[in-house]
Structure 1
Amino acid sequence: MQPPRLLLLLFLLLLLPGTWADPEGSCKLYLFQTFTFHNTNFVDISAWATLEDIVFAALQKYTWKILYFHPWVYPALPAAEWENLENLFRVYVHNFILSLSADARQYQTPYPFVAQCMAGCELYPNRTSRAFVYVGYNGQDFLTFDVDNATWLFCQDTSLSRYVQAVLQNYTAFSELVDVLFNDTCVDDMEVLLRYGKTALERQEPPVATVFARTPRPDQLLLVCHVTGFYPRPISVAWLRDGQEVPPGPELNTSAILPNADLTYQLRSVLAVAPHDGHSYACRVRHRSLGTRSLLIPWGNSEVVLIAGLGAGLLTAVAVAAITMLWVWRRRKHQQMEESESRNSILSKEA
C-alpha cells in the first residue's frame, strides 16, 4: 500500500535550507533538517516543521520520534500514518548518514561539516503557488531542485556538488516523486494544516513601542524606536519629521524583525539627526492588531510640549484647589460666627 500523500510530503520535506523572501499575505509550509557530522562516529540531527512561523512538529534527537507542539497537529493525520512517518524517517536518517559518511571518505571531507535542507511550498493570495527544495553545505547554498523541470541544479561548481547533483539526477524515481508531491499535493496538504491551526495562526498581540535617544558624537543624535511584543510578524514602522514620513536614506536604519522568547517579535528603527535641529520627530507603528489605528510615539519638541503642558495643568489645578479650599474655609468660619452671635442674642433675651 502506498503511503498517504501528506505523509510522503512531510517525509520528503523533512529530508531536504535556503533563504528567500516571504511576501505579506502568502501562506507558507517549511520543513527543515540539519545534520552536523562531528566525526566519523557522531552525527547530531535536528528536524522541524513550520506552518507560517509556528513550529508545529519536530524530530526528537535521540529517539527519532516526532514531537507535536500544538494540540491541533496530531489530529491532522490518523495515528497509524504518524507512526508510518516515524518509521520512514528512521530509515531515511540511517541511510542518509551512511551515504554522506561514505561520500565524505571518498572526497576526504574534513570534519566537522554540516548538511542542511529546506523544502516546502507557498500559496499566494491570488491562489498561485510555488514549491522549493534547497540543500546547503557548511552554511552555503549547495543544490536546488527546479520543481518545474524536475532537475537538480548546483549553486557552487565543485567536484563534490557535481557528484551529488549527478547522483540525485540519476535517481529519477526520487526526483519524479519530489516533482509530483510539490507540484500536485503540497498546497492541498498545507490548506488542511491551515484549517487545523486557524486559531493559532490568527492570534494577535499588539506592539509596545518606546522612543529614546543616543549621542555617539557631539554633532549626531540617534533616535531609536524600539517596537516589541507584536504578533503576527508583518508590521510597519516609520519616522515622521514635522508630521511627514522620513523617506529611506542613509540616515534611516531599520533592523530585521527578530523573534522574542514568548513567540512574539521585535525590531528597532534608528534615525540619525542633528542635535537641536528645530524639528519634531515621532515614531509611527502600524500593525494588524491595532486595526485602523496607529501608535504615535513622539520625541523632542513635541515631547517637551507634552511635559510642559502637563506641568502647567498641574499648577493650575493646585491653584484652583487652594482657592476653593480657602473659600470653603472662610465660608464655614463666617457661618460659625453667625451661629455664635445668634446663640448669644437668644441667651441675652432669655435673661
Structure 2
Amino acid sequence: MQPCCRCLFLLCVFHLSGTWPDLEGSFTLRLLRTFVFQNASFVDTEGLGLLQDIELGSLDKHTWSIRFYQPWVHSALPRSDWDTIQNMIRIYVHHFIHLIGEGALEKNVPYPFVAQCMVGCEMYPNRTSRAFAYVAYNGQDFLSFDTDNATWVLSQDTSLSRYVLAYLQNYTAFSELLEVLFNETCIDNMEVLLHHGKAALERQEPPLATVFARTPSPAQLLLVCRVTGFYPRPISVAWLRDGQEVPPGPALNTSPILPNADLTYQLRSVLAVFPRDGHSYACRVRHRSLGTRSLLIPWGNPEIVLIAGLAAGLVAALVVAAVIARWVWRCRKHQQMEVSESRNSILSKEA
C-alpha cells in the first residue's frame, strides 16, 4: 500500500548514527501522503515529511525528485542514498495507486475520492516511543496498523476497506517491513533528525498581543485578544477579571491555534461581557519564548505590561528602589558635609 510504503521508505533512509541533542519534550516524525483519484485514469498525489511542525521535504510528482525544505536534511545522507530513495518511492507510489485503483473498480467506488496515509513515530522524554500508521478515505479513518501484533485493523467496515485489508494481510513482506521500521528505524531516524535540526527545533519567536472590542448589540461587548507571531506552537492565553482568571464557560471562546505564512502561529480569545459592568479585564499570555514572564494586556489600556511573576517582580522593584533611594540620600548627605566643611574652612581663614 504505497502512501504508507513511500512514507515508510523515507523513514528507512534516515537511518544514521547521531548524538541525542539536549532537547526537552516529546517529538514526532510524520510522513504524509495524499492521493486524489479523479477518475480511473488520473490520480494526483502530494507528500510531505514533518519533524514536529517543521517541513523536511516532499517528492516532486513531475520529476520524482526529493525537494529538501531544510538544508540540514539534505546533508544527513549522501547523494547516492537519496537517489536510491527516490527510485523506491516511485515504485511504492505506483504500487499503491494500482492497489486502490483495482479496489475502486472491483467495488464500484464512485469518483472522485481521496486516499491519505500518515505514518511515523513519537518519542517521549523518557525515551519510550510509539509508532503509528493510518490510512484515511475521503477524510475518514479507513485502516490502521497495529504495531504490537503486526496486523492491519479496520477503522470503518466497508467493502473497499475489507478488500484493501485482505490484500495487505496477505502481503506479509510489507507487514514485516513495517514492523522492522517501527521497532528499529523510525526512532533511530528521529535521533538523527533531532541532532541535525536542533537549531530549528529550538527556534523561539515571542508573541505579539493586542486587545480590542466589538459591539454586536448594545447589551453585549466582545473583548478580543489577538495573539500572533509566536513559535513554537504551545501557548497559554487567559482572560483576567479583576485580576482573577476567567474560567471556561459560554462567555469565553478561544480559537484553535492556526499557522501563519511565516511559520509562526496565531489565535484569538474572545470574552463576552456586559458594557460598563464595573470590572477590569486583561488578557494574559504565557509562552516559552517569554521564560517565566507573561504578557498582560489590559482592556482599555494600549500599553502591554511584561510581568515576571508579580510577587517576585514587585519585591525586586521595591528592593531596587530602596537601594537607589539610600544611595541618593547618602550622596546628598556627603555633598552637604563637603559644603559645610568648605564654608567652615573659609570662615576660619577670614577670621
Q: Is the 8 A contact 1:12 1:178 kept in 2?
A: no
- Within-5 A mapping of 1:1-351: 9-10=9-10, 25-300=25-300
1:211-259 deviation per Cα after TM superposition (whole angstroms, max 9, x unaligned) = 0111122222111100000011111111111011111111111111100
Unaligned 5+ residue runs, structure 2? 1-6, 14-23, 306-351
Report the 3-state secondary structure (helix = DSSP H, G, I; strand = E; otherwise coil) of the residue aligned with 1:76. coil
Task: Return the letter of the residue paired with 2:260.
Answer: N
Q: How many angstroms does 1:25 deviate by? A: 2.5
Aligned residues between the structures: 288
CA distance in 2, matches of 1:61, 1:210: 42
Q: For residues 8 and 101 of structure 1, do their structure 2 counterparts lie closer, same or farther at Cα, with a shift above 3 Å needed?
A: closer
**Offset at 1:64?**
1.5
Larger radius of gyration: 1
Counterpart residue identity of residue 193, structure 1: L
Q: Is the 8 A contact 2:9 2:88 kept in 1?
A: no
TM-score (norm. length: structure 1): 0.79
TM-score, structure 2 normalization: 0.79
Please report how far the alpha carbon of residue 63 of structure 1 lies from its aligned counterpart in structure 2 after TM superposition. Answer: 1.2
Identity %: 70
Range moving further from structure 2, 289-298 or 92-101: 92-101
Aligned amino acid, residue 37 of structure 2: F
How many angstroms apart in 2 are the aligned matches of 1:97 and 1:168? 14
* CA deviation map 1:247-276 (0-9, x unaligned): 111111111110000110000011111111
Question: What is the Cα deviation at residue 12 of structure 1?
Answer: 7.2
- For 2:166, the aligned partner's letter is A
Deviation digits for residues 61-104 of structure 1, max 9, x if unmatched?
Answer: 21121100111011111211111100001111122222222211
Q: How far apart are the structure 2 equivalents of 1:11 and 1:247?
A: 43
- Any conservation in 2 of the 1:28–1:120 contact (CA below 8 Å)? yes
Task: Say whether the 8 Å CA contact 1:9–1:186 is kept in structure 2.
Answer: no
**1:281 Cα deviation (Å)?**
0.4
The letter of the residue matching 1:166 is A
Residue identity matched to 2:254:
T
1:339 corresponds in structure 2 to: none
Q: Corresponding residue for 1:344?
A: none
In the aligned structure 1, how far is the partner of 2:8 from the partner of 2:95? Answer: 17
Q: Letter of the aligned partner of 1:139 in structure 2?
A: G
Residues in 2 aligned to 1:269 and 1:131: alpha-carbon distance in whole angstroms: 34
Partner Cα distance (2:69, 2:302) in 1: 45
For structure 1, which runs of at least 5 residues remain unmatched after alignment? 1-6, 14-23, 307-351
Question: Partner of 2:4 in structure 1?
Answer: none
**1:259-299 CA distance string (max 9 Å, x none):** 00011000001111111111100000011111111110000
| Alpha-carbon separation, structure 2, partners of 1:136 and 1:290 | 39
Q: Is the 8 A contact 1:213 1:223 kept in 2?
A: yes
Give the counterpart letter for 1:151 in structure 2: T
Q: Is the 8 A contact 1:26 1:123 kept in 2?
A: yes
Q: Do the aligned residues in 1 keep the contact of 2:100 with 2:164 (CA within 8 Å)?
A: no
Paired with 2:251 and 2:148, the residues of 1 have a C-alpha distance of: 43
